[in-house]
Amino acid sequence: GDSVTQMEGPVTLSEEAFLTINCTYTATGYPSLFWYVQYPGEGLQLLLKATKADDKGSNKGFEATYRKETTSFHLEKGSVQVSDSAVYFCALAHGSGNTGKLIFGQGTTLQVKP
Amino acid sequence: EPEVTQTPSHQVTQMGQEVILRCVPISNHLYFYWYRQILGQKVEFLVSFYNNEISEKSEIFDDQFSVERPDGSNFTLKIRSTKLEDSAMYFCASGHRGSNQPQHFGDGTRLSIL
């Protein structure tokens, strides 16, 4: 069945460091891909999305490119801030005709130190 | 910006009791979902709901669980005869048609079974 695999955390970085969180997926067809972020005590918020191969999603300085050839959707940010400390979830949803349920990776905790 | 709201934020229940978790989705959304996150584990899909019926459910969503949209605004998850392993964070989400449309999540209800 479909699945999403993320790099294990926690990831600890100093402020202004470069961030990469790896995400790979297994799916039939052409899923849409998402990154969600969960700040402490809050629900999941959409960070960015990409719906087809080679699309780049971006938001708040974060970027991820839909790579069909490597079945990957790695999250990057050039310069992290303390406020970026959160849990990041990679997820996929299937194409038209489906219910659109999300399949999540296990989440990666990011801690940014001043 | 419209939000998905969930109540209560924390529910403590004795094993064997029934619980109802409540959600108010975003008003113009047509697809509704429940997800579960056991502490330290990934977010798991439970059920999707569209046009007043279940459109998809996971293996987790057995006869112990039911969903309802009683009045056109609320969306509820009922768990009959709760078990210790039902302890988790339960997230409600809503969205537009199509898997490339992001789902909007509530802040979750933390369910603790004693």
Residue A30: its pLDDT value, please? 84
| A106/B42 Cβ within 8 A | yes
Q: What percent of chain B has pLDDT over 90?
A: 75
Q: Is A35 on the interface with B (CB under 8 A)?
A: no
| pLDDT tens by residue, A23-39 | 999 998 889 999 999 99
Under a CB-based contact definition with an 8 Å cutoff, are residues A13 and A81 in contact? no
Residue A43: its pLDDT value, please? 86
Closest CA to A38 of B70, B6, B106, B1: B106
| pLDDT tens by residue, B31-64 | 999 999 998 888 999 999 988 899 999 999 999 9
Q: Is B4 on the interface with A (CB under 8 A)?
A: yes
pLDDT at B97 over 90: no
Report the C-alpha gap between B52 and B50 in whole angstroms. Answer: 5
The total number of residues shown for chain A amounts to 114
Report the C-alpha gap between A5 and A8 in whole angstroms. Answer: 9
Report the C-alpha gap between A15 and A114 in whole angstroms. Answer: 5
Under a CB-based contact definition with an 8 Å cutoff, are residues B90 and B108 in contact? yes
pLDDT band per the 50, 70, 90 thresholds, residue B72: confident
